[in-house]
C-alpha cells in the first residue's frame, strides 16, 4: 500500500463508527502481521505499522506508547509514532525488523536472558522487593556500563514500565537510524498501572471488593452533592462511580454499575422462571449471580465471553463450565448504548485450594527453574521455552512431588486440551480464581472470553427484552415513568455559602474561566509514584505535567 493509498484508507477508516466495522475494514485493506492480548498490528507499506486496539487493554497500551514518545526523551530506543487517534483506538508507528537471539546479542552485547534478568531484578528492587535472579557479578557489572541497557533502565523508571514484556525477544526490533542498525522497543505499552489493572491475578481478584477511581474529566452530577452557588469543584475529587458518563447511560464497564446489573438479573431470572438471583462475584466486565440448581447467571458486556459460551452449548465439556443459554439483552426503550449479554452456565465449586496450590507451585518453579507457573503453562499452549529454561523433566519432577501439585497441573493441561479442541481463545485459566471443581471432582474453567470487542457470533444469540430504559437510579427526568425511579434534577436548591452568589442557579460549570485547563502531575513525579520511590522531576519542567483543555457541557 502506497502512502497516498494509506491516507485514503485512514480518511475512510475515521468515518467508521463501530469497533466491528473498523476491524473489518482494516482486515480487508491491510495485511495483519501479529496480535496480542489487546491489539492487532497491520503492515502498511513495509516501513510503518497500524496498531488497532480491540479492547480496553489495547487502548491503555496505545495510550502508554503515545505518552512515551510525546517528549522525544527516549526516541533513540523507541519506535517512532507518526499519527494517532485522540481516543487511543489506533496509532501509526515505525516498523522494525524482527530479531533473532543471535542478532540481539550482536546489537546489545549480551544475551536476551541476561538483559531480562537484570531489568526484572532492577524493577523489583525499585519497588521495594528483592531480585529473583542470580547474575554473574562480572556480567552484572558490565551491564551497568552498557549504554542501551541503562537507557532501558531509565525509561523503565521514568515511564513506570513493567519489566514483564522486556524479557520477550518479540518486544525488540531493529531499525536504521542515521545509517546505522539500531535496536529499539516496538512494544512498550505495559506500565505497572496497566499490569495491575488488567493482568495481575491478585488485582483481578481484589476488584470483587469494589473499584475506586479518581474523578477527573466527566463531571457526573448524579454522584456529586449539591454545592451552593451552582459551581462544583470537579478536580481532585475521589468518588465511587457507577459508570463513566462518556460511555452513556446503561453501560456496565470497569466502573461497575451494580444497580443496573441487579435490575437486569432480577428481570431476566423472572422471565426465565429461575430462582431469585444472589450476587456472588464481579469482574472486569460484569457480574455473576447464583440462581440455584447448580447454575450461574452472568450479566456481562464482554461480547467474546458470549460468543465463546454460545459456541460451547450442547458440546460435551469435561473441563469447562457447561453453558446452557446465551441471550442478547435488549431494552424496550432502546437506551442501552452498549451490547450487554446474559449467560446461564454450570456452577463450579470454588475453593481456596486453587489459590494456595497455585502459589506453592509458582514458588517452586521460580526457585528451581527461574520461571513462573504462567511461563510453564505458556510452553504447553504455544511452545515458548523462555530462552531454553523450560525443561519438561524438571517440570514433571516438581509436579509429581506432591499430589495436590499433580492434580492442579494436570487439571490445567486438560483444560488447555479442551479449549484448543473447541477453538476457545481465552487463556484466563492461568488465573486460579477462574477455576473450580465440577460435580465429578474434575477441575474446570468457568470464565471464557477475553474482552475482545470484535469477536463475532457464528449464530446470533436469542434476544431477551427488559424494561430498563438504560438510566441509572437517581438520574435525569428522562428516566421518569419507566422504572418508578424518583425524579432527580440538577437545579441547586441548597442555600449559598457566599451571600454574594445567587441561589438556585440552573447551570453548573467545569471551570470559572472560559478556555480553562486541568493540570495533573505525571505519576512518576508524585510522592511514591514508582511504589516506594519517585522519579527525580524538575518542578519547572512542563513536560512533567499533563495539561488538558476542559470541555464544557452545554
Q: What is the pLDDT of residues 378-436, one digit of tens each?
A: 889 888 788 888 899 999 999 999 988 999 999 999 999 999 999 888 888 988 989 99
Q: For residue 409, what are the contacts with CB-CB under 8 A and spacing of at least 6? A: 361, 399
Task: Give the pLDDT confidence of 516-540 residue by residue, as tens digits.
Answer: 666 777 766 776 665 555 666 665 6
The answer to whether position 490 is within a domain reads no
The continuous run of DSSP H or E covering 239 comes out as: strand 237-239
Please check the confidence at residue 450 and state whether its pLDDT lies above 90. Answer: no
User: Which helix (H) or strand (E) is 379 found in, with range?
Assistant: helix 373-382
Place of cell 460451547: 312
Output the pTM of the full model: 0.47
Tell me what percent of the chain is helix, strand and coil, each rounded to the nearest 5. 35, 20, 45
- When mean pLDDT is compared across 26-40, 139-153, 457-471, 531-545, the lowest value belongs to 531-545
pLDDT of 444 > 50? The answer is yes
Task: Judge if 406 and 537 occupy the same domain.
Answer: no
The answer as to whether 235 is a domain residue is no
Measured CA to CA, the distance from residue 509 to residue 511 in angstroms comes to: 5
Backbone angles phi, psi at 159, to 5 degrees: -115, 20
Mean pLDDT of 282-299: 88
Residue 497 placed within a domain: no
Contacts of 239 (CB under 8 A, 6+ apart): 212, 213, 215, 223, 224
* Closest CA relative to residue 304, chosen from 475, 456, 514: 456
> Does residue 305 lie in a domain region?
yes
Q: Do 341 and 358 belong to one domain?
A: no
Domain that holds residue 526: 517-549
Q: What pLDDT, on the 0 to 100 scale, is given for residue 356?
A: 87
Looking at the fold, whether 300 and 377 belong to one and the same domain comes out as no
CA 269-274-280 angle, to 5 degrees, is 70
Longest dimension (CA), the chain: 80
In which band, very low, low, confident or very high, does the pLDDT at 160 lie, cut at 50, 70 and 90?
confident
Domain match, 404 and 286 both: no
C-alpha cell at 314: 450442547
Any domain includes 269: yes
Q: Into how many domains does the chain fold? A: 4
State pLDDT tens for residues 128-149.
Answer: 778 888 889 999 999 999 999 9
User: Of 44, 61, 94, which one is at a domain's C-terminal end?
Assistant: 94
Better-scored residue on pLDDT, 217 or 85: 85
The contacts of residue 308 (CB under 8 Å, 6+ apart) are 424, 425, 426, 448, 449, 455
Cβ–Cβ under 8 Å, residues 42 and 28: no
Q: What is the CATH number of the domain that holds 82?
A: 3.30.200.20
By DSSP bridging, strand 323-331 and strand 462-466 are: parallel
Domain-embedded: residue 63: yes
Residue 334 has pLDDT above 50, yes or no: yes
Question: Is 265 in contact with 287 (CB distance < 8 Å)?
Answer: yes
Both 454 and 326 in one domain: the answer is yes
Regarding whether 306 and 330 lie in a shared domain, the answer is: yes
Do 387 and 421 lie in a common domain? yes
Amino acid at each position: 500500500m502506497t502512502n497516498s493509498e494509506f491516507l485514503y484508507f485512514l480518511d475512510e477508516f475515521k468515518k467508521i463508527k463501530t469497533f466491528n466495522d473498523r476491524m473489518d475494514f482494516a482486515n480487508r485493506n491491510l495485511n495483519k502481521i501479529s496480535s496480542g492480548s489487546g491489539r492487532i498490528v497491520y503492515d502498511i507499506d513495509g516501513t510503518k505499522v497500524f496498531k488497532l486496539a480491540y479492547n480496553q487493554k489495547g487502548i491503555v497500551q496505545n495510550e502508554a506508547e503515545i505518552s512515551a514518545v510525546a517528549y522525544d526523551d527516549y526516541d533513540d530506543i523507541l519506535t517512532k509514532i507518526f499519527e494517532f487517534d485522540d481516543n487511543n483506538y489506533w496509532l501509526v508507528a515505525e516498523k522494525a525488523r524482527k530479531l533473532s537471539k543471535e542478532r540481539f546479542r550482536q546489537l546489545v552485547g549480551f544475551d536476551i536472558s541476561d538483559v531480562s534478568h537484570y531489568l526484572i531484578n532492577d524493577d523489583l528492587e525499585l519497588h521495594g522487593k528483592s531480585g529473583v535472579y542470580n547474575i554473574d557479578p562480572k556480567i552484572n557489572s558490565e551491564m551497568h556500563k552498557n549504554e542501551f541497557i541503562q537507557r532501558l533502565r531509565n525509561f523503565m523508571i521514568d515511564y513506570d514500565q513493567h519489566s514483564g514484556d522486556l524479557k520477550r525477544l518479540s518486544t525488540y526490533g531493529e531499525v536504521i537510524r542515521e545509517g546505522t542498525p539500531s535496536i529499539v522497543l516496538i512494544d512498550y505499552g505495559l506500565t505497572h498501572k496497566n499490569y495491575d489493572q488488567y493482568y495481575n491475578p491478585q488485582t483481578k481478584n481484589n476488584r470483587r471488593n469494589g473499584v475506586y477511581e479518581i474523578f477527573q474529566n466527566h463531571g457526573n452530577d448524579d454522584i456529586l452533592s449539591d454545592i451552593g452557588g451552582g459551581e462544583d469543584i470537579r478536580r481532585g475529587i475521589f468518588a465511587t462511580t457507577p459508570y463513566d458518563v462518556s460511555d452513556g447511560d446503561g453501560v456496565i464497564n470497569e466502573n461497575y454499575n451494580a444497580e443496573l446489573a441487579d435490575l437486569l438479573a432480577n428481570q431476566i431470572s423472572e422471565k426465565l422462571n429461575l430462582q431469585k438471583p444472589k450476587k456472588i462475584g464481579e469482574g472486569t466486565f460484569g457480574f455473576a449471580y447464583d440462581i440455584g440448581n447448580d447454575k450461574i447467571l452472568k450479566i456481562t458486556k464482554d461480547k467474546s465471553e458470549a460468543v465463546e459460551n454460545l459456541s460451547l452449548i450442547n458440546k460435551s465439556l469435561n473441563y469447562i463450565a457447561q453453558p446452557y443459554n446465551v441471550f442478547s439483552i435488549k431494552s424496550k426503550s432502546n437506551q442501552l448504548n452498549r451490547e450487554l449479554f446474559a449467560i446461564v452456565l454450570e456452577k463450579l465449586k470454588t475453593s481456596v485450594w486453587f489459590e494456595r496450590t497455585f502459589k506453592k507451585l509458582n514458588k517452586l518453579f521460580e526457585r528451581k527453574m527461574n520461571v513462573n507457573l504462567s511461563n510453564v503453562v505458556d510452553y504447553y499452549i504455544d511452545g515458548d521455552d523462555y530462552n531454553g529454561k523450560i525443561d519438561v523433566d524438571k517440570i514433571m519432577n516438581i509436579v509429581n512431588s506432591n499430589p495436590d501439585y499433580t492434580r492442579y497441573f494436570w487439571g490445567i493441561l486438560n483444560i488447555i486440551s479442551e479449549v484448543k479442541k473447541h477453538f476457545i481463545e481465552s487463556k484466563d485459566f492461568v488465573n486460579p480464581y477462574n477455576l473450580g471443581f465440577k460435580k465429578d471432582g474434575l477441575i474446570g474453567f468457568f470464565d471464557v472470553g477475553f474482552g475482545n470487542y470484535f469477536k463475532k457470533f457464528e449464530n446470533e444469540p436469542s434476544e431477551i427484552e427488559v424494561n430498563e430504559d438504560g438510566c441509572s437510579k437517581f438520574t435525569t427526568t428522562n428516566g421518569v415513568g419507566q422504572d418508578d425511579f424518583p425524579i432527580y434534577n440538577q437545579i441547586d436548591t441548597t442555600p449559598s455559602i457566599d451571600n454574594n452568589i445567587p441561589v438556585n442557579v440552573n447551570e453548573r460549570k467545569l471551570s470559572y474561566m472560559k478556555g480553562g485547563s486541568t493540570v495533573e502531575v505525571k505519576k512518576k513525579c508524585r510522592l511514591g509514584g514508582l511504589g516506594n520511590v519517585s522519579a527525580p522531576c524538575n518542578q519547572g519542567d512542563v513536560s512533567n505535567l499533563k495539561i488538558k483543555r476542559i470541555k464544557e457541557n452545554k
